[in-house]
Structure 1
Amino acid sequence: MNVALILNYKAATETISCVESLLEHCATIDHIVVIDNDSQDGSALAFQQWLEEKAYPKVTLLCNPENNGYAGGNNYGLRWAMKNLQPEYFWVVNNDTYVDSDAFSPLLEALRHNDRQFVGSLVLSADTGRLECYGGGKLYPILGKARLLGKNQSIEASQRQNPQHEPDYIMGCSLAFSAALTEEIGLMDEDYFMYFEEVDWQYRAKRFGITSKVIPGSRVFHYGSLSLGSRSAFYHYYRNRAATRFNKRFYGPVFAIVSAFLLSAVTTIKEYRNPTLAWSGIKGAFKGVAMSVE
C-alpha cells in the first residue's frame, strides 16, 4: 500500500485543497492520512465535515493530541499507518502544496528500482511556475545555513544545470521513502520541533548507506515561498537552535560551538535594527549546542 501523509496546523482550507489534488491526479496513492497537529482552531472539525460530505474511503483524519512540530506530527501519522495500513511506501507532502499531474508515480518508480533512498520532487511556485527548489538544497554547516538549488530558475534552466549536482538533502515539502527504511533508521527526531528535521533524518540515513535523489518528473506546486519572508523571534530561535544541534550531532561539539558564534554574528548583522530578534537567534544558537544528541 502507498500512503501519503499530510500534516495540518490551522490551515484546513489549504489541506483540503492538497488532498483533493492528490485524489484527482495520483492514482497510485492508495490511502491519504491527514494529521491535525492540535490546531485548536476548528481545523479538525472542518476537515471531518468535509470528509463526511465527500465520503472518501481512502482518506483518514488523525488528531494528534499535542502540537509537537513537523517531526512529531508526521511521526504520529507514520506510527498509525505502520500499525493499521500495512504500507510499503510513504509520501510526506506539505499541506500548502497541490499537484496538477501525477507527481507520485515517478517517485514510486524510483523507489521500486531502489528503495534504499529518499526521493523528492521539483517544487514550483504556485504564483510564477518557476522553481522554489530543485528538490532540495546545499548545506553550509559552519554557517548554519542552506541554499536552495535552482531557486527562481525556469525548469529548463534547472535541468541543464542541476542533474550533476544532487542536493545535500531533499525538502520535506515532498519526500517519499519506503516503509522498510523507517524500520531500519527509525523516525524523525522530534527534539528539533521545527527546522532541520528532514535534513537530520537523511543525514542519519547516510550512515546506513541510504542516499537522497531528486526525480524531475515529479512536480508539486507550493503556495508562498519556501524561504520565509517574515522573520520573528520564534523563527530565529528555533532555526538557529536546529542548525547548531544538527552540527553537534554530525560534526561534533567544537564545530557546533564555532558555528553558534558565526550564526549569532550573521543573525546580529541581519537584525541589527531589531535587537530582540537578534537576541532570540543568539539564544537559539547556543541552546542547540547545549542540547543532547545521540
Structure 2
Amino acid sequence: MNEAVQSSEKCPLLIVIVNYRTADLTINCLRSLVEEVKSLPGTQVVVVDNPSGDNSVEKIGRAIATEGWEGWASLIAAEHNGGYASGNNLAIRPALQSPNPPDYYWLLNPDTVVRPGALKALVDFIAQRPEVGIVGSSFEEADGEPWPIAFRFPNVLSELDSGLRLGIVTKLLSRWVVVQQMGNEPAPIDWIPGASMLIRREVFEAIGLMDEGYFLYFEETDFCLQAKRAGWSCWYVPQSRIMHIAGQSTGVTVRNARPKRLPQYWFDSRRRYFMKNHGWLYTALADAAWIAGYSLWRFRQLIQQKPDMDPPYLFQDFLRNTVFIKPGMPESDQPSKLAVNP
C-alpha cells in the first residue's frame, strides 16, 4: 500500500485496479490516469495483482517506477486469488482504517482507459449530492462507439426475458429488464458495473466491504442493492466517459462474438445473489422462469434456424446449478456483513 494512504496525510480519493493477467492493459489504464489524478490533489492509485502467475507484478511495478508514477501509484501482490471483491477489499480495508480515510473509492477495471475529465465529473457530481452513495460512468468501445448502459436489479421477470428473447415480451417487460439504455443526462439507476464505480466512504461504513462470497460477477449488483437498502442512491453520470474492453480476463462478457463456456463461479454467483437477497422460493421462481423462457427460445431458434451465439452447454450448465439441484447457498461463505474493521 502506498504510504500516503496509510499516513496522517489526507488522501481524498483512492482508486483501486484489480489485475489478473492483463498487465499491459493495466499500464495503459494507469497512463490514462496521469492527468486525471492531478484534478484531485492527493489522489492515490493502488493496483492489486490477484495473483496472475505471470510477470504482471514485475511488469506493472517496473512501469510505475520508470514512468515516474511512484508519487501516486503503488502495487499490492495478493497472496491468493480470492476474486474481484477480495482484491478490491485488500486495498480498501487498510485505507478505511487509516487515520484520515479517503472520502471516495473509485473501482476501475484494468481493461479501461479513462477519458479526460472522467474523474472530476464523478467527484463533482457525488460531492454536491450527500444522498448519493455510488456513481458510475458511461462506457464506449475501443473505436469510440458509445455503450450507454446501466442496469436494473435481476428479478423473476427479467430472468424470463433473458431466457425467452422475444422482442414483444421484452417491450412488455421493459420496466423489469435488467439492461437499461441510458440517455445523455445523469439518472438514478439500480446498479452500475464495477468497471467504473465511485463509492462514498460512508457507504462502506454503513454496509461493510464487498461480499467476498462472490468470486466474480454479481458482487457489484449485490453491493449496490445493500447500499440501496441502507438508504443510498446510485447514479449514472454520462459526463464521465470510460473506454472499456469487456471480458479481457475471463472471455465471458465479450461483445460481438460468441463467449466462452460460462465458468462455475458465474453460476455460483448468480445463485448466491438470489438466495442471499430473496430466499429459496424466489430463486426457484427465477430459475423456473429462465428455464421456461430459454426452452421456448431454443424451439424458436430451431424452427427459424437462428444462429447460436450462446455460451457452449449453457442450458445443461444452468440446469445443474438451479436450486432444484443445488438447494443451498454456494459453499463459499454464508451471507454476512464483511466488516470494515477486523
The alpha carbon displacement at 1:288 in A equals 7.1
The alpha carbon displacement at 1:199 in A equals 0.7
The alpha carbon displacement at 1:227 in A equals 4.1
The alpha carbon displacement at 1:242 in A equals 2.2
Task: Give the direction of change, closer, same or farther, for the CA distance of 1:27–1:289 in structure 2 (3 Å limit).
Answer: farther
**Aligned counterpart for 1:99 among listed residues 105, 109, 114:** 114
Matches of 2:311 and 2:141, distance apart in 1: 30
Structure having the larger proportion of residues in helix: 1
Q: Aligned partner of 1:110: which letter?
A: F
TM-score (norm 1): 0.85
Verify: 1:222 aligned to 2:244, yes or no: yes
Task: Among all aligned residue pairs of Structure 1 and Structure 2, give the percentage whose two residues are the same amino acid.
Answer: 27
Structure having the larger proportion of residues in strand: 1
Verify: 1:210 aligned to 2:232, yes or no: yes
Task: Give the direction of change, closer, same or farther, for the CA distance of 1:274–1:128 in structure 2 (3 Å limit).
Answer: closer
**Aligned counterpart for 1:34 among listed residues 40, 47, 51:** 47
The 5 Å alignment of 1:128-143 reads 128-131=144-147, 133-134=148-149, 136-142=150-156, 143=158
- How many aligned residue pairs are there? 282
C-alpha contact (below 8 Å) 1:245/1:288 kept by paired residues: no
Task: Give the direction of change, closer, same or farther, for the CA distance of 1:288–1:230 in structure 2 (3 Å limit).
Answer: farther
Per-residue CA distance 1:19-68 (angstroms, 9 max, x = gap): 11011234235111111111011101111111221232110101111111
Verify: 1:174 aligned to 2:196, yes or no: yes
Aligned partner of 1:122 in structure 2 is 138
Task: Give the direction of change, closer, same or farther, for the CA distance of 1:207–1:218 in structure 2 (3 Å limit).
Answer: same
DSSP 3-state at the match of 2:321: helix
Q: Which runs of 5+ in 2 are unaligned?
A: 1-11, 163-176, 299-307, 337-342
The 5 Å alignment of 1:5-154 reads 5-29=16-40, 30-56=43-69, 57-84=71-98, 86-116=101-131, 117-131=133-147, 133-134=148-149, 136-142=150-156, 143-144=158-159, 147-150=178-181
The 5 Å alignment of 1:253-272 reads 253-265=280-292
Aligned partner of 1:250 in structure 2 is 277
DSSP 3-state at the match of 2:126: helix
Verify: 1:285 aligned to 2:285, yes or no: no
DSSP 3-state at the match of 2:51: coil
Matches of 2:34 and 2:312, distance apart in 1: 47
C-alpha contact (below 8 Å) 1:27/1:102 kept by paired residues: no
Matches of 2:268 and 2:59, distance apart in 1: 34
Matches of 2:194 and 2:24, distance apart in 1: 20
Matches of 2:44 and 2:129, distance apart in 1: 22
| Larger-gyration structure (1/2) | 2
Q: Aligned partner of 1:185: which letter?
A: I
Per-residue CA distance 1:253-293 (angstroms, 9 max, x = gap): 10111212333455676689987443222233337751043
Matches of 2:222 and 2:326, distance apart in 1: 14
Verify: 1:231 aligned to 2:284, yes or no: no
